[in-house]
Amino acid sequence: MSILRRDFLIKVGALATSTFIAAPLAWTQEKSKLKITGIRLVKLTPRKSPPSYTPAAGSWSTQGVEVSAPPNIYPEFKPTRSLFAAKNVPGFAVEVSTDKGIIGYGEGGPGGGAVVMGHLAGLMMGRDPFDIERNWDIN
């Protein structure tokens, strides 16, 4: 006898109070009543310069360690860490503002700013910034 995924999840949900499955946290069901009203890329200025970093002799990043990636099968793409460093493509910082004046900041890696502004911003306008699971699924 096969069981449908939905039926399984309902049965598991009924067991959520048992000792082996944790019940959902109460606050995850609450809504914040905030709405995203603005998303923009910003340039943040740190108060202090980041500390300098020099890897210790013999650490993995100084030894030409191979990194697993799809092009590894081709000899011209020897899979070293240096292949994964984006050149001349900056990271980004993003400011998210809400209808209640609350502002949050986040950051991302090389090239991500274009994805945020060209794709994610349009999907997130008017949404609750704390509805994290739904926002993740929509994107």
User: What is the model's pLDDT at position 5?
Assistant: 58
What's at 106, amino acid-wise? Answer: G
What's at 137, amino acid-wise? Answer: D
User: What is the model's pLDDT at position 32?
Assistant: 84
CA–centroid distance for 80 within its chain: 24
Torsion over CA of 99, 100, 105 and 110, rounded to 10 degrees? -10
Q: How far apart are CA 40 and CA 120, in angstroms?
A: 11
Q: What tens digit of pLDDT does each residue of 34-92 get? A: 999 999 999 888 899 888 888 888 777 667 666 667 777 777 776 665 655 667 778 89
Average pLDDT over residues 10-29: 58
pLDDT-derived band at 9, boundaries 50, 70, 90: low
User: What is the model's pLDDT at position 139?
Assistant: 81
- Tell if the pTM clears 0.75, that is, is over it: no
